[in-house]
Chains A and B, each alone.
Chain A
Amino acid sequence: MSPRIHRRTLLKGLLGGAAVSIALPPLECFVNANGTAYAGGGSAFPKRFGVFYWGNGVLPVRWDPADEGPNYTLSPQLMPLADLKADMTVVSQTRVFTTNSSPHGSGPSGLFSGDALVNDSFSRPSIDQVIAQEIGGSTRFRSLELGVQRSDNSWSLAGPHQVNPPETSPSALFNRLFGDGFRMPGDMSAPDPRMRLRRSVLDAVLGQATTLRGRLGSNDQARLDQHLEGIRTLEQQIANLELNPPNLAACHRPTMPAADYPDVEGRPQMSQISHVMSDLVAMALACDLTRVFFNMYSQPVNNTLFPGATSGHHQLTHDEPGDQPGVDAIVRYIMADLAYFLTALRSVPEGDGNLLRHSIVLCTTDCSYGRSHSIDDYPMILAGSGGGTLRTGTHIAARGENSSKVMLTVLQAMGLHATEYGVGAGHATDALSALAP
């Protein structure tokens, strides 16, 4: 059974038969016969997609740039990203069209799934998973979920209620990526004989599952299938190990992070953790361990006590009077961590470009103005150009446009043959032309 066919079937099932037309590009085209270089997609290097998400919104009056176009002036909250201005596009003024029934939940649902919350969950996979279904099949990890704030919640969902929990421990993420199962580029040694045994076990598990599956109802089968997808991913990892790893110049095993980053006087070390996580993600992409990631920097409604803040983040968004300088400082703190993250990607050279240029990173949050939970004027940054398929270095004020248009643009820029995004009020059939290069 081919994993690819299975994924296509699964995707169709998850979308509940809703009209989606996604052509599956042949995965093999990304790697040439030697496995030493990449081809396809208009770039010599694969495209990557990721999300950088933070909770509790922004202050729109201090977030939105005052003027548009390539010569726009960075707003106060975007100032930490000044050095990356040429590598990103700020998209402001779009709206999430789906219903705003749940503070901090409706925005992500409308944006990442294209639908309102249904039974308190996404009705469809989140955009990172839609993309991972297409481009994640040939890497060791189909997608990578991580976070900075300690939590097991995420907006990355493989389907209704099927959350992909983030890894929030730097050392655990390091071990997962670069511990057992990591092979340095050019490592031609024989694979670990243990892998043969592991594969036999996984085969047996699939056999046991087949017997069970025949006895289950259809809803239960969908839950079981998600488990089987995980088992098949484990088998895929073994298969990848048996291939010689591509000889990627920038790939190396990073140093092991500290085992623990304890809170300091009740304040989590957000920046310190975020920096380590950024470097790990950059190297995971450089080593082509994955091409899709979802970074839950902080959670919706999180009450993280940021450095210097007098109160938790969520509390401040509602309680701080006036211009909310405390909230402003937190947003700028997060943008500084985002800047580090994007810079880490940019500092990995790939051919005559860099990793960030070959990526699209959607940077966004759960609402516009945290105090009122509005989802008009949705804050979004698209960093990286997807190997030249997205415009960078500008500010697009797309007044009143459906945020799903941005998502459709991203899918197309990633090489998916998508012609629509979202359902119901969130449905869009046009890309946002201003984002074309």
Chain B
Amino acid sequence: MRAAPPNAPRRLGFQAFPRAAGAMAIGVLAACTGVIHDPEGAARPDASVAIPGPLLLRRLTNAEYDRTVRDLLGQTTRVSADFPADAKVFGFDDGAVSLTISPLHAERYRDAAERIGAEVTASPARMASVVGCDLTGTGRAPCLARFVGSFARRAYRRPLVDAEVQGLLHVADVAADDPDRNAAVALIIEAVLQSPSFLFRAEFGAPDPSRPGLYRLGRFDLASRLSYLLWGTTPDDALLDTAQAGTLDTAEGLAQTARTMLADARAHEGLAAFYGQWLRLYTLATVHRDATQYPSWSPELSASMSEETSRTVDDLVWRDGANFLDLLTGHATFLDGRLATLYGLPPPADGTWARTDLSDHPERGGLLTQASYLTLTAHSEGSMLIHRGKYVREVLLCETLPTPPANVPTIPAPVPGETDVERLERHRSDPSCNGCHRLMDPVGMGMHRYDSIGAFHLVDAQQRAISQAGTLYGYTPPDFDGPTELSRRLRDLPEVSQCVVRQVFRYAFGRAEVMTAAGDLPQIERTTERFRSSQYSFREMLVSLVASDAFRYGRPAGGGS
């Protein structure tokens, strides 16, 4: 197991679960008294040399599995619906440490492999595209060999060694007498889809004499890293060919290939997989609201909320010249009829999605005024303000707040007549609670005019004016008035732009970043600098990350054999 970073208290995530929390634990705020600083790194004269992280065997996430079998074999059903769900760590499902294969997983992978094998071989169209040669007569053996060579190379994301090819052809022999001439293909598909070389992304690398102690990733390892980061799915033949030709052996070649890949339609889906998790949009699918309290609530409205933010981010990622930090302060958004009604804005002319200018609507503009954020943080009325503040700290500032320690008093029960704000103030009057909650509650109070489905109100049910005065402790000046001012303030914080990079880093490497000079800090600073110098072009930031040493090198995890 990876050692915890020095001085980092160990923590459990919100779910209080080893699997959910263990994979990517990082340093937390020491006693919640301020933001993370790294005196060691700041004092270090040359913090420019990146120390790459460990190489880890990473199981495909369920989402990656689905996209991968779709691209390999034309499987269009979501096979992973039957798999155990992947743990979410920092919102991401790709934490390498927690991606293991239990006996139940093994059963479900077998069932999926058998189903996919049967469906492919029952479909002449899929057989033609997957195999594409004649399995009868004297052509059978060369056809099977060709199929194994091409299919398994794509499935394993690298060329096979001879023993692997022979093993797969041997399976085909078992079905030699089967009246169904396609049976051998089904068996090969089953074996490949259950093989660890398919289910895990193994990264081998090789020692680099010029970088003692480090492994340089192999060209096929890099093809997989690129592909799952940028496309969210398996490399295709063209990318494997690019790797085989040696193009990925240099930083320049990686950058150039990444640019080509970003121009491919698959990158839209791939990057959406990142930001949907970073911004926790996936949680909206499980939000429920009481129909009597919120008559406008529906699963469709919840989906629209997610869609608004997705379209906003897509616009900032893919529009040339867009500044990604406009996510916080943009004066336009994308609305459909449902959301427009919720926001009290005129619905789009044709009722479907349209870019909407918000210049005349100061209460809207930027992520912190979008219904997605305002709704998914409202686990309950009483804790809504806490979680809105927690989200700002964790998702946008990359601070890590600890769960309440054992044996401390918890949020008090409401007293009749007490407002949420008063209740939280009473809770914070206990010094042992105030240490952490002063970081969260006063931030969330800035968004108090938005209810738990994101509708805007100036007064509460008793017609009392709702304050939107908030405080972001640890930053100067701390006080702010409402989400617009907070967002403007956040946008200018170097911690926020760096946090975007840190979140990409977590997702790209399937682990927590270590914010020390001997860890990942130098690389994160360099990538952040590139983000800044490109006027916050998300794509340029990605390109610089994939061309970096952090991407190209690794440390062997544990002893080799």
Q: Which residues of A contact B (CB under 8 A)?
A: 100-106, 109, 117-122, 141-143, 145, 152-153, 157-158, 160-165, 167, 172, 176, 196-198, 200-202, 204-205, 207-209, 211-221, 223-224, 226-231, 233-234, 266, 299-301, 303, 311-312, 315, 318-321, 366-367, 371-375
Contact = CB atoms under 8 A, between A and B. Distances in A.
A376 B291 CA distance: 42
B472 to A, nearest CB: 27
A145 B103 CA distance: 10
A62 to B, nearest CB: 19
Contacts of A165: 84-85, 102, 104-105
Where chain B touches its partner, the secondary structure class is loop
B557 A230 contact: no
A229 B204 CA distance: 23
A320 B12 CA distance: 25
B23 A103 contact: no
Nearest to A199: B174
Contact of A223 (B10, B100, B406): B100
Given A120-B12, A121-B22, A153-B17, A205 B195 contact: yes
Nearest to B192: A208
B207 interface: no
B406 A102 contact: yes
A162 B4 CA distance: 18
Contacts of B19: 121, 153, 161, 163
B117 to A, nearest CB: 9
Given A165-B104, A315-B380, A211 B56 contact: no
Contacts of A196: 174
A160 B557 CA distance: 16
15 contacts: A105-B16, A119-B1, A121-B1, A163-B87, A164-B102, A198-B114, A200-B187, A201-B113, A201-B190, A204-B167, A211-B161, A234-B110, A300-B16, A318-B410, A366-B16
Nearest to A205: B194
Contacts of A122: 18
Given A105-B16, A161-B22, A266-B288, 10 more contacts: A105-B12, A161-B98, A163-B19, A197-B183, A211-B161, A211-B163, A217-B557, A226-B100, A227-B100, A372-B407
A378 to B, nearest CB: 14
Nearest to A231: B106
A143 B102 CA distance: 11
Nearest to A229: B103
B194 A201 contact: yes
Contacts of B412: 319
A197 B187 contact: yes
A103 B11 CA distance: 10
Nearest to A220: B57
A127 to B, nearest CB: 15
Contacts of A200: 171, 174, 187
B30 to A, nearest CB: 15
Contact of A103 (B97, B105, B404): B404
A76 B13 CA distance: 34
Nearest to B1: A119
Nearest to B25: A120
A276 to B, nearest CB: 19
Contacts of B405: 101, 103
Interface in B74-100: 82, 84-85, 87, 97-98, 100
A157 B102 CA distance: 9
B413 interface: yes
Contacts, number: 231
B285 interface: no
A159 to B, nearest CB: 9
A152 B57 contact: no
B557 A208 contact: no
A217 B102 contact: no
Nearest to B187: A201
A224 B196 contact: yes
A220 B174 CA distance: 31
A116 to B, nearest CB: 9
A102 B199 contact: no
Interface in B523-561: 556-561
B561 A218 contact: yes
A100 B100 contact: no
Nearest to A207: B167
Contacts of B23: 161
B197 A120 contact: no
Contact of A218 (B167, B171, B559): B559
A117 B18 contact: yes
Contact of B196 (A103, A158, A227, A303): A227
Given A161-B23, A204-B191, A220-B557, A212 B167 contact: no
Given A119-B22, A120-B22, A320-B413, A226 B102 contact: yes
Contact of A227 (B10, B15, B199): B199
B195 A153 contact: no
Contacts of A161: 1, 18-19, 22-23, 97-98, 100
Contacts of A303: 379
Contact of A301 (B16, B161, B196, B560): B16
B200 interface: yes
Interface string B194-215: 1111011010100000000000
Nearest to B110: A234
B107 interface: yes
A266 B380 CA distance: 14
A138 B487 CA distance: 61
* Interface core residue of B190, B195, B558, B561 (most chain A CB under 10 Å): B195
A194 B87 CA distance: 34
B398 interface: no
Contacts of A207: 163, 167
Interface string B408-437: 001111100000000000000000000000
A121 B18 contact: yes
A231 B204 contact: no
Given A212-B196, A300-B17, A374 B55 contact: no
